[in-house]
Structure 1
Amino acid sequence: MTSTVDEKTAFQDGAVNDNPSPVENGVLQNVHIDAKEEGKLLRKLDIFLVPIIMLVYLSCFLDRSNIGNVKVAGMPEDIHATNQQFSTAVSIFYATYVVSETPWAILLKKLTPRILMTGLAIVWSLVTIFSGFIQNIAGLYVVRLILGACEGGLFPGLNLYLTMVYRREEQARRVSYLFVCTAISGAFGGLLAYAILHMDGVAGVAGWRWVYIIEGIFSIIIAAMVWFGLPNNPSKAYFLNEREKELMEQRSVQRAAYMGSEEFSWEEIKIALKDPKVYLSGAVQFCQDILLYGFSTFLPSIIREMGYGTYETQYLTVPVYIFGGAMFVAFAFLSDKFTLRAPFLIFANFFGIIGYILLLCDVPVGVRFFATFLCAVAVYTGPGLNLTWLNVNVAPHYRRATAIGLQQTIGNCAGIVAGQIYRSSPYVLGNAFSLGAICVSQLVILAKMWYIRSCGKLKERVANGEVEDTRKVKTGDWALDFKYHL
C-alpha cells in the first residue's frame, strides 16, 4: 500500500541525500519511521560520525589559532617581526581562506567528502609542521596563505555533510559540536602549548617551534581517521546494520520528496546568489566572526595584558573556552527543541555586550577576567546559531552549498579585520570594535527576522489565494509548503 508523504513532515528536512527516492507517479512508498528506532539510529550516527567531525575541525582550528599561543612565547622576536607584521600574518590567512570556501563547498559532492576533507587535512598538517621551521616574516606569510587555502574548504564541507545526515530540527545541536571545537581547541591549545613550551631548548629548538611541529603531527593522525572513518554516503555507512540502512533510506525519501533535484545546476547557484537571506546572514556572520577570530586568537594576549605570566596565561584561557563551548551546547539544544534560532542568538549576544563593556572599563583584574567568560558566550554561540539559521532555511543541496559558502566567505572576511584591530596592549581598539560589531549584529538579526517573516506571510497569502503568485522562484525553500525557522 502506498501513501503520500505529509508535506509538513517532509519540509522539516533541509537536505537531500544522493539516493533517488522511490517515487511512482508522484506517490511515495510509506515512509513512517518508528520514533524509538530513529532515536537509536541518531545515537549511533552521533557516536560514529560526530567524534571524527569534531576532531578534524578541532585540528583545523588548532592549527589556525595556535599563532596566538606562540605569539606570547617569543615567536615574533625570533623571526624579527614587528607588531604590525605579526598582525598582517594573522589577517593574511583569510585572504585565501575566504576565496576558497564557496568553490570547495560546490566541489564537495564531485570530489566526495572523504577525498576532499582528507586531502585538505593532510596538506594543512604538513604546512603546520613546516611552520616550525620558518626563519623570517616572509616564511610566516607563505605558510599562513597556504593554510588558509586548505582550511577554507573544511567548515563548509563539514557543515554540508551534517545536512546530508540530520534533519532541520536536529542540526543546531550538531553544528554546535563544530563550534564547540573552536572552544575546545582554545582550551586544548592552551594546555598543549603550556606543556610543549616546557620543551624549549630540546634538540636546540625553541618551544614555539615544537608547538607547531607536534600539533601538525597530531593533525596528520586526524586526517587518517577521516579517511577511514567518514563514509561518503551516510545512508550506507559501514557501521549501520541492514535495518538502520533502511531507516536512512526512509529519511532520505522524506528529504527528497519536496526538496528538488540533487543534480548540479547553475540555476540553483544563481538563485542563492540573489537570495537576500544569504546576504543578511553573511552580514550577521561578519559581525559575529569579528568576535570569534579576535577573541580566539588574542585571548592569551588579552589575559597576559592583565598582568599574568606566559605559563599562567596559557592555562587561564582553558576555563574561558570550556565555559563558552558549554553555553553554546545549551543554547543549541534549546534552539533545536523549540525550532527557534534568532531569539536565542539575540539573547546570547547580550552576554557579549556586557562582557566587552567590562573589558573596556577601569575595573579590578578579577572582574575583567570574569568578563572574558561573558564574551565567550556570544563569541561561540553567535556564529554557530546564525549558520544553523541559514542551513535550515535554504534548499536544495547546491543552493544551500552556495549559500553556506558565500555566507562563510562574507563572514570570514572578519578575520582580516580581527588581525588589525588587536594590535597592541591594552587592546582598547579591539574590544571597542568588537562591542560595536555585536551591537550592529543585533540590528541585522532583527532585520533578517523581519524579512523571513514577511517571506513566510507572502507564501501563506499565495497559498490561500489572497494574492497572485508572481514569485520568480517557486522551488526548494521558496516552495509554498516550506516552513521557515525564525
Structure 2
Amino acid sequence: MSEVTSTASPPPGKAASTSEAHEVQEGGDIVVDTPSHGQVRYTRKEEKRLVRKIDFVVVPILLVLYLLSFLDRSNIGNARLEGLTADIKLKDYSTALTMFFVGYVIGEVPANIVLKKTSPPVWLPTLTLVWGIISVVQGLVHNQAGLFAVRFFLGLSESGLFPGSVFVFSMFYPRRERHYRVALLLSGAAFSGAFGGILAYGIGFMRGVGGKNGWSWILIIEGLLTIVVSLSAYWIVPHYPQKSRSFSDREKSIIAARMQADRDGLDEESFSWDGVKQAFTDPYVYLYGLLFHGFAFALYTISLFMPTIIADLGYTAANAQLLTVPPYFLAFIFTMTIAHISFVVNRRLVFIIGCACLAIVGYIVQIASPTVAGRYVAIFIATPGVYAGNALLLSLPSENVSGQTKRATALAMQIGFGNMGSIVGVQLYRRPLGSLANPRFHISHGLAIVWLGFGIAAASTLWFLLSRENRRRDELQAKGQHEKESIDEEEQKRLGDRRLDWRYHV
C-alpha cells in the first residue's frame, strides 16, 4: 500500500493553514502540537513504518468482512441458476431482492449510531455473526414469503458494516489516505463476485446431498463460512486508535499527530445529537447520497443479475457461474488502478465522472451488439466502470465530513439514500417490464444509463460547489479573516468541516 505524508491536502498551490499544526524541522523531524499528547516529534521513517502497521492491523479483517457481506447478499443470483426459483415457487425475484435493500436502508443510520455508542470490535463482528446465521436460514426457506422475510433481515443486519468500516478508517488515516482503503473494500466486493462464481460452480455439484438442491447448499455453506470468520473477528477487528492494544503509546501519539496535522482531531468524541442534526442539515451530504443513488442502481443490478445475463447468452448454469469470474477480476484490477491514480493526482470527482462514462459505454454496447461475444465483452466494459466509480464516491463523506458523530451519520445517510437506487434498480430489471417485453433487459440497461446520468450530474454539482467553497475560504484567509484563536477545542470539533481552515477534497 502507498505511504503518504501527513498533510491536510489543501487544494494544489494552497498551503492553507496546515503549517499551523504540522511543521517539518531542518533535521527532517515532523513536529505537531496535539491536545491529547502535547508536542509530538517523529520522522518520516517512523511514519511510513506506522502506516504499514495500520494497514496490516486495520484493513485485512474489514476487507474480509465486507467481501463476505457482498458474497452473502449477491449469492442469490448464483442460487437462482441452481433451481431456487422453481423449488420455492418464487414468482417475484425482483421483490425478493428489494426486501434486502429495504432492510438495508432502514438499518443504516441506527447501525452507525450504535457503533458510535459501542465499539468496532463488539459491533462489527456481531453484525457479521447475525447475518451469517440469517444467510444459513436463507438456504432453508421453502416458499416465497419465507425468502422475502429472510432477505429483509439480511439487509437489516448487513447495513452497518460498510459505513462502520469506513468510519473506522477515518479514525486511523488522514483524509488523503482514506479513499485508497475504501477502494480496497469495493475491490473486495468485485473479488467476492469472482470468488462467488467459483464457489457456486463447485457447490452446485452438491445438488442432491442431504436431499437439498445446489442453490440451498450455496447459501448454507457460504453462510457458515461467514459465521466462522465472525467468531474470530471479535479478537481481530481493531478498536479506536487510542484504545487499541495493537499500538504502543509512541505509535498512538504519532497517529494522533497525523490526524491533528490533517485538521481532523483524533481524540474520541462522545456521541452528540448535534452531530446527527448537522449531518441531516448539510446539503453536501444529500449530494453524496444522490451520487451513490445513481451508481447503486448499476452496482447491484450487475452483481445480482450478471449470472442471469450471461446464462441468457446461451450458456449452461454451471458455465454461466464460471463466466462471471473474469469480468469481476478485471473490475478488481481496474478499481485498484484508478484508486492509485486518483491518489497520485489527488482528484476524485473527475475520475468518478470518467468511470460513469465508461460504464455507459458498456451498457450501450450491451444494448446494441447483435452478437453473443459483443454482449459478453460489454460486461467487461460496464463492470469495471461501475465498481471503480463506487469505490471513489463512497470515500467522499469520510474525507469531507468532520466531526465524528456527523461523519458516522453522513456515511450511513449516503449508503441509505444511495441504496434507494438499488431498490429502484432491482424492480426495473424485470421481464417483462410492465407491458414492455424487455428482451435481454434492453430497457433495463437503458434505465441504468439514465441513473448513471444522475450520478454524473451529482458529481458535477459537487465539483462546482465544493471548489467554489474552497476558493471562498482561500479568499477569506488571504484577507486575514482567520478564526479567533480563542476558539477552544470543543468548539473546533463542533464546527468540524465548517471551519475556515478546512478544505474539501474534490
Q: Does 1:293 align with 2:300?
A: yes
Give yes or no for the alignment of 1:443 onto 2:457.
yes
2-side partners of 1:40 and 1:54: how far apart?
A: 21
- Verify the 8 A CA contact 2:201 2:318 in the aligned structure 1: yes
Partner of 2:368: 361
Distance 2:481 2:259 in 1: 34
Give distance in 1, aligned partners of 2:273 and 2:252: 32
Q: Which residue of 1 aligns with 2:232?
A: 225
Q: 90, 98, 106: which is aligned to 1:81? A: 90
Asked whether the equivalents of residues 11 and 481 of structure 1 are also in contact (C-alpha less than 8 Å), the reply is no
**What is aligned with 1:464?**
478
Match status 1:316 vs 2:323: yes
Letter of the structure 2 residue corresponding to residue 370 of structure 1: V
Residue ranges of structure 1 left out of the alignment (5+ in a row): 13-20
Compared CA separation, residues 123 and 479, structure 1 to 2 (3 A) = same
Do residues 159 (structure 1) and 166 (structure 2) align? yes
Task: Report the residue type matching 1:198 in the other structure.
Answer: F
C-alpha distance in structure 2 between counterparts of 1:443 and 1:147, whole Å: 32
Q: Equivalent residue for 1:71?
A: 80
What is the CA–CA distance in structure 1 between the aligned matches of 2:145 and 2:169, rounded to whole Å? 38
Distance (Å, rounded) in 2 between the aligned partners of 1:414 and 1:283 = 9
Distance 1:10 1:121 in 2: 42
2-structure distance, mates of 1:156, 1:306: 36
Q: Which residue of structure 1 lines up, in the alignment, with residue 489 of structure 2?
A: none
Instruction: Name the structure, 1 or 2, with higher relative contact order (CA <8 Å, separation 6+).
Output: 1
Matched, 1:480 2:492: no
Question: What is the RMSD computed on CA atoms of the aligned residues?
Answer: 2.4
- Secondary structure, aligned partner of 2:369: coil
Deviation at 1:326, TM superposition (A): 1.2
Q: Does 1:121 align with 2:128?
A: yes
Aligned residues: 467
In structure 2, distance between residues paired with 1:325 and 1:294: 17
Q: Deviation per CA, 1:278-326, whole angstroms, max 9, x where unpaired?
A: 1111111000000100001111111111111101100111110111121
2:445 to 431, 434, 438: 431
| CA distance in structure 2 between the aligned counterparts of 1:466 and 1:235, rounded to whole angstroms | 35
Partner of 2:336: 329
CA distance in 2, matches of 1:195, 1:257: 47
Distance 1:269 1:326 in 2: 36
Determine the C-alpha separation between the residues in 1 that align with 2:246 and 2:322: 38
Q: How many angstroms does 1:338 deviate by?
A: 2.0
Q: How does 1:186-201 map to 2 (within 5 A)?
A: 186-201=193-208
Correspondence for 2:379 among 354, 369, 372? 372
Read off the aligned partner of 2:369 and give its amino acid letter.
Answer: D
- How far, CA to CA, are the matches of 1:261 and 1:205 in structure 2? 49
Match of 1:341 in 2: 348
Output aligned runs, 1:377-456, within 5 Å: 377-424=384-431, 426-456=440-470
Between the aligned partners of 1:213 and 1:159, the Cα distance in structure 2 is 28
Select 1:59's aligned residue among 65, 68, 81.
68
Q: What amino acid sits opposite 2:117 in the alignment?
A: K
Match of residue 8 from structure 1: 18
SS in 2 for 1:144: helix
Specify the alignment match of 1:266 in structure 2: 273
Tell me which amino acid in the other structure corresponds to 2:392.
Answer: L
Q: Report the counterpart of residue 112 of structure 2 in structure 1.
A: 105
The code of the aligned residue for 1:103 comes to P
Kept in 1: contact 2:105–2:419 (CA 8 A): yes
Distance 2:213 2:480 in 1: 72
1:205-264 Cα deviation digits (max 9, x unpaired): 111111111001100111023211112133454443554344334335445776898232
1:32-57 residue CA offsets vs partner (Å, 9 max, x unmatched): 43222111111122123211111111
The amino acid that maps onto 2:427 is Q
Letter in 1 for 2:498: W
Equivalent-residue separation in structure 2 for 1:161 and 1:10 (angstroms): 26
Give the match's secondary structure for 1:30: strand
1:24-35 alignment to 2 at 5 Å? Answer: 29-35=38-44
Partners of 1:406 and 1:11 lie apart in 2 by 31
* Distance in 2 of aligned mates of 1:363 and 1:440: 28
1:180–1:168: structure 2 CA closer, same or farther, 3 Å change rule? same
Residue equivalent to 1:283? 290
* 1:132-178 alpha-carbon deviations (Å, 9 max, x no partner): 11110011011101101100111111110111111111111100111
Go from structure 1 to structure 2 and tell me whether the alpha carbon gap of 1:412 and 1:9 turns closer, same or farther (over 3 Å shift). farther
Q: TM-score, normalised by structure 1?
A: 0.91
The whole-number CA distance in structure 1 between the counterparts of 2:464 and 2:383 is 27
2:180 alignment partner, one of 173, 177, 180:
173
Alpha-carbon spacing, 1:466–1:240, altered in 2? closer, same or farther (3 Å): closer
Shift of 1:378: 1.9
Say whether the 8 Å CA contact 1:61–1:182 is kept in structure 2: yes
Q: Which amino acid aligns with 1:72?
A: L
Q: Structure 1 residues 43 and 309, CA, compared in 2 at 3 Å: closer, same or farther?
A: same
- Identity percentage over the alignment? 34
**1:52–1:226 CA contact under 8 A, matched in 2:** yes
Deviation at 1:414, TM superposition (A): 1.6
Contact 2:34 2:40 in 1 (8 A): no
TM-score (norm 2): 0.87
Counterpart Cα distance in 1 of 2:262 and 2:130: 34
Matched-pair contact (CA < 8 Å) for 1:353–1:438: yes
One-letter code aligned to 1:92? M
8 Å CA contact 1:133–1:209 kept in 2: the answer is yes
